[in-house]
Structure 1
Amino acid sequence: MATKSNSLELVIRNAKGVKGETNVISCGAGLELWVTINQSGQTAKKWNLRYTDAAGKRQKARIGSYPELSLAKARAGAEDLKANAKSGVNVAKAKAREKLPQVQSTRTFEAVATAWLQKKMPEWDDAHAKRQKERLVGNIFPAFGDVAINDLTMEHIDNALAVVIARGARETAQRICSIVINVFEYADLMGFVENPVIINRLTRYRKEMPKPVTKRHLYKEMSEAEIGALLRALEESKGRWTLQTSVALRLAPYVLLRPIEICEAEWAEIDMNAAEWCIPAARMKMARDHIVPLSRQARELLLEIRPFTGANKYVFPSPRKHDAPISTASMLQAIRRIGYASTKEEGNSFCTHGFRGMASTTLNQHPAFQHLKEDWIEFQLATSKRIESEAYNILTPRSYIEERRVMVQSYADYLDDLRERVKAGEL
């Protein structure tokens, strides 16, 4: 005669899932088998236990899957779990730790930091994730990555950051310190840190770190003759570079965008009929949608390259990898090849980001543009100054669009005039 246990085993073995439903088979003492249909369309059977913890609160925990865990083993595991719960063990935290065996077994700083990275990376864009990982791999892991997280001292961390500070990268050192604090906070949350006081010490330490040196300006003020000479050089040297680099570089003065925003331009963003370039927030530094009204000169440059790259996703595809855009380095190298040094140096110097500084300085200070409002200029530059200072002053990507359209056309004509006057020897 079949026993009750054998009958239950048979029911469990033959149970079939129904799409959209959860069939619960009660196995006694709070143990349940949940039968469902998984994403692959197959029957899935999961063991769950309802129990009471040491504080008298009702809890639920997943034990495992059937048939990997038989009825007998599930019952034994359930009894062990309930015994631990009654003795005050936090079962949920214990189960979470089981999912990180590589961290549990070693718990070196590198192991914990790697687990933290894996948890955070889905929240970050690719570029930020790469930078965070490089800061750890290049600066921290070689210094104390193999040290157990509970054996780390402030001296370990101070010595590692001192190397970064010594090479002049004070801002990077502060960012690395913030990463270390984040890793320790994650470790504390997971129950790995025996003495969380180090987190408070690290926070105080970061406040006392050497402050970053004031950032150098990416643009040195240029006279009208110098601006005209630069634009003339770009025009006369356009055959020295690839078409993509040539057009991107000549477009930069007219659109007031950051180099990366130009290089990664997509044809889907550009409306030739409306003469507008609509850049999504994901591509903008300020993470806001941005519309650039195109001057006649900017539109002509885009029409120049469209027959060659119009079938591509990118306006400026890489000559080597057509599924990727050109890099900002290609624009910077072109500037260097026509005789312009880094802005760190004296004399004839410029960088591609300097086109924005040139526009800001000219539009704010030149007598011909004194009628312009600062809001129009900052909005066009898409800078952090573009703040809604009043509750009812709601700004959208199309704010000041007509004023900005006139502004960029006037500025483009001004630049062309400087270039032609240099050619004619008038400047």
Structure 2
Amino acid sequence: MPRLAVPLTESQIRALEPRAARYCVADGNGLVIEVMTTGTKVWRFRYTLNGKRQPLATIGDYRMISLRVARAKAQKYVEMVAQGISPVATARRDRGAESNADVLREAAELYLATAMAGKSDEYRRTTRRALDKDVLPAIGGKPINAVTPDDIVAICERIKNRGSPKMALHTRNVVKRLYVYLIARQLANSNPAEVVPARSIATFDSRTRVLSGEEIGTMLHAIDASSIRRPLKLALHLLVLTMVRKSDLVESAWAEFDLDHAVWTIPAARLNADRDRVVYLSHQAVSMLRELHRAKASRNYVFPSVRGDDRSIAKSTLNQAVKALGLEVEHFVLHDFRRTAWTHLREVAQRDVALDSASALEAQNPHQEDDVAQQRRIVQAWADFVDGQIEAGRQAVISSV
């Protein structure tokens, strides 16, 4: 019985290096990728017809055809062979129908059809809108490598003149991601959007960035629905609920928590402060921490490194997790969660007469029993507010399907 091929991944294909003689690597189902001595990679289809091994049928250049699309074409050819039909003529027509992606408009269509396939409907919609409305009408007819930073600046200036600086920056970012894709597929030599500074397009004071309730709900729902590791999902959610600094959370140790009393005491030594900081925990936060504790991979740290040694994850891990999601939230950094929480707490306190809006803005380190009760009400009101935003975001996704 012939040995089954282990399916390839995009990263494995990109890592294939040319040799003195060209060679093929199988993906399975008749699909192989041939690596030429020049480094060019070409999809081929291997098949047997009427009991005889046939010459490889060419599917197309890897730079213009993703692994997902190549597999779909191979499956089509498998079905033809099963009916006794040679796929050669069909493969030739398929190649003729493919764009050569030499022009930006064609490259953008390739990008949308392949790189965007696994993204959310909203992400694809906003990306296509930026390309169709402003980018392609201006430079869609230019060769990929003829697009310059001046072209990008001109497009962004036109958008800014419409009174939309945020959209201008978003459009620049879309072009930047498009060229990252084209460079990875060896269709572009450089990224004209990368050298255009974000500050030259839209100046935004990150110290005043506050997420709207809708943005909070959309972001946390997207995080929950993503494929990132469960502990990182919980860490990002806890960052919102606890209103602490990122480093305080990722370096936290189990010894600091009293989950039975819903209290987290951050030692003064870890804070470089004169005294410990007491953080009161909502019901939602306690539930998440108990889940982490049941599955804990470290005796000491709440968020241990996956490397196996007993230390916490790196401070940059959460940033990388959020960046990998490709969320369309302009000018957002994780530190904005704290500012967002305190801003919304003012509004929550104003709607709830039992809450003191002044206390809602104080650090969680009270000295009187009344202060403790008040702080507990505050953190629970905030957690309930966040839950409401997540549910609203979930319903918005459902209604758009």
- TM-score, structure 1 length as denominator? 0.41
Q: Computing the radius of gyration over CA atoms, which structure comes out larger, 1 or 2?
A: 1
- TM-score, structure 2 length as denominator? 0.44
